[in-house]
Structure 1
Amino acid sequence: MTLLSRIPLVMDVDTGTDDAVCIAAATLCTDRIELLGIGAVCGNVEIEKTARNTLDLIDFLGCEAPVHIGASRPLARPLCTAVSHGTTGLGDVALPAARRGFAEGGVTELIHGAAKRHPGGLEILAVGPLTNIATALTECPELLALIKRITIMGGAIRGGNMTLASEFNLYCDPEAARIVFESGCALTMVGLDVTLKPELPRHIFDRIRAAPGPQADVVARVLDFMMRRKDEFGADDPNLHDVIALAAIVKPSLFTFESYYVHLETGGEVTRGMTIADFNNVSKRPPNALVAVDIDADGFWDWFVDLFGAGK
């Protein structure tokens, strides 16, 4: 594969534990993606922590992608954070302080600059609340014609993990999510319907822990925390939500997708952030999302361990 065939990609993250795994994996996908920059958004923890975690991680991995600081709160609501990532966002994983600073300009500037350099080809991977992405689309309407696709980790067409009906990222900023879903930009939704399926097997963890390199090192430490937090704190299973969304970009053959018009609900005690697929074409509206509905879990784990050089 030639370098010309690589996907120009901007990532938008709220770096907690599974974001860190996704970022580490992305830096190993240089044959498939050109990582142009990373935006940080509030979500799993406060923006000061998500941004610092992202910069420290990228520096530790030896990646030169610039890191831009984004939104410190949702568009119209108080900040909502998660508890399962610990107070810092990375559990008990400590990284050396980055030797470089944050890039100048916000995430809108990052996306706009990348889109102008790659008109019609830029893809965005957003694995946190969609505040930065909605802000960019609102502030720069011309982005709609420049962005090829936005892939999100968020939502679910059945069930939730924040409420009975809604997933965490979209629950945190449903107004931003609605802007993105209704923007007209090509959108792939990788939600709980697939990200809850590949639960981390112990033998996969052991193989990553034995693999060489800084990516495997930091991912093994993060996975170790994720496994312990379930046993020690009663937290959720160590599912790798965000890296599964990355896989949908670089290894789409692992997934089954269906096209739906998806309505984003912004209100309700249970339905805030709910993604409602129009299965029966009640709305008579054209599809606005390509939704991942199934995944080859064994194939995903094969791809994951191969990426980290974790031989059998």
Structure 2
Amino acid sequence: MNKKNVWIDTDLSVGMKRHKREGYCDVDDGFAVLQLIKAEKIEICGISAVYGNTVIENAYFLSQYMGREFAGNQIPVFKGAGETMDLRNVKTNEAVEALADALKKQPMTIMAIGPATNVGLLLLKYPELKEQIVEVVLVAGRRKPTDYFKIGNKGSHAQDLNFDLDNDAFRIMFELGVSITLCPFEISNKVWVTQADLDQLASSGDQGNFWLAEASQAWLQQWLDQGADGFNPFDVLASHYIISPEDIISEELNARLEIYPDDTVKGSDKEVFKQYLLCDKQSGFPVKYCYNVVADYHERLLRSLGT
């Protein structure tokens, strides 16, 4: 079987407490990594940790943990960027160098489900390696600045965190002409994981599924407290696209960066602004924009995890 070579760049935070405010971190990155580990048609060439949902030390620890416990220590794991790229002081790291070495040997797809800092650093240090990147699959973007990332029914808006934390990394990928696929909130908002799903995972008899279900309980409760019936597994849309693109509905759009008031800051009267990654038919950088899933997607997702 010809396997697709994939590099995972992730800010794994499953089960971790937030480092900037009360509460627990996202768990969807764990779903994405576990789904790829289980996929028969995927060869994971490496995992690089990056800051984002949590600090780099946590993301690196969890990357090592998942590689050890659920992939038999067969996947090399590397520590990457711990902060946003500084264009005035561009420094490489262990993960960037490992990714560069891997790309020199073979073309790969990169699933970048945290801030794209490691990928941006790679392209600044080794721009010639862009030809070895089949595509970069990211979780970011929206059609309009008023397409809010609504969490529940209590007026809470989430950040487009992966993009917000490092705009320059996206700009570098666009300007170098790297093939980009975006799995934005628009598509993940159509997919829900409920308590019943976590129960099904926990009872599947699989060690990874049990760990993920248990670690997801606090995250699910935070969504329930916001008036939702479950949570959106954002990053798993990226991994599922890589495994089975026929399950994901997409279109060709153009992306660009524009500045508008920050929709996540309540009570701001044009005092706080930020960059938005907007995708439409206007001029910009070409991207594949994923916006929907097939009718029986929920069943396919659970089946891909072995339930």
TM-score (norm 1): 0.80
Does 1:193 pair with 2:186? yes
Report how many residues are paired: 272
Q: 5+ unaligned residues in a row in structure 1: which ranges?
A: 78-104
Counterpart CA distance in 1 for 2:176 and 2:159 is: 21
CA RMSD in angstroms comes to 2.5
Counterpart CA distance in 2 for 1:232 and 1:50 is: 26
63, 72, 85: which one pairs with 1:75? 85
2:114 is aligned to 128
1:99 is aligned to none
Contact 1:155–1:167 (CA under 8 A) maintained in structure 2: yes
Counterpart CA distance in 1 for 2:222 and 2:260 is: 31
Counterpart CA distance in 2 for 1:235 and 1:202 is: 12
The one-letter code matched in structure 2 to 1:11 is I
CA, structure 1 residues 227+165, in 2 after alignment: closer, same or farther (shift >3 Å)? closer
CA, structure 1 residues 36+197, in 2 after alignment: closer, same or farther (shift >3 Å)? same
Shift, 1:267, TM fit: 7.3
Shift, 1:231, TM fit: 3.7
Task: Report Cα offsets for 1:199-240 as digits up to 9, x if no partner.
Answer: 113432222121012221112113323222334587995211
Task: Report Cα offsets for 1:226-266 as digits up to 9, x if no partner.
Answer: 22233458799521111111001111111211111100246
Q: Percent identity?
A: 23
Q: 5+ unaligned residues in a row in structure 2: which ranges?
A: 14-26, 88-92, 151-155, 264-272
Counterpart CA distance in 1 for 2:223 and 2:110 is: 31
57, 61, 64: which one pairs with 1:55? 64
The one-letter code matched in structure 2 to 1:73 is E
Does 1:117 pair with 2:118? no
TM-score (norm 2): 0.81
1:46 is aligned to 55
1:288 is aligned to 286
Does 1:66 pair with 2:76? yes
Contact 1:265–1:273 (CA under 8 A) maintained in structure 2: yes
1:21 is aligned to 31
Counterpart CA distance in 1 for 2:237 and 2:124 is: 28
Counterpart CA distance in 1 for 2:75 and 2:227 is: 36
1:305 is aligned to 302
Which segment drifts farther, 180-189 or 131-140?
A: 180-189
Shift, 1:18, TM fit: 1.3
Contact 1:174–1:272 (CA under 8 A) maintained in structure 2: no
241, 254, 257: which one pairs with 1:261? 254
Counterpart CA distance in 2 for 1:278 and 1:239 is: 23
The one-letter code matched in structure 2 to 1:72 is G
The one-letter code matched in structure 2 to 1:170 is F
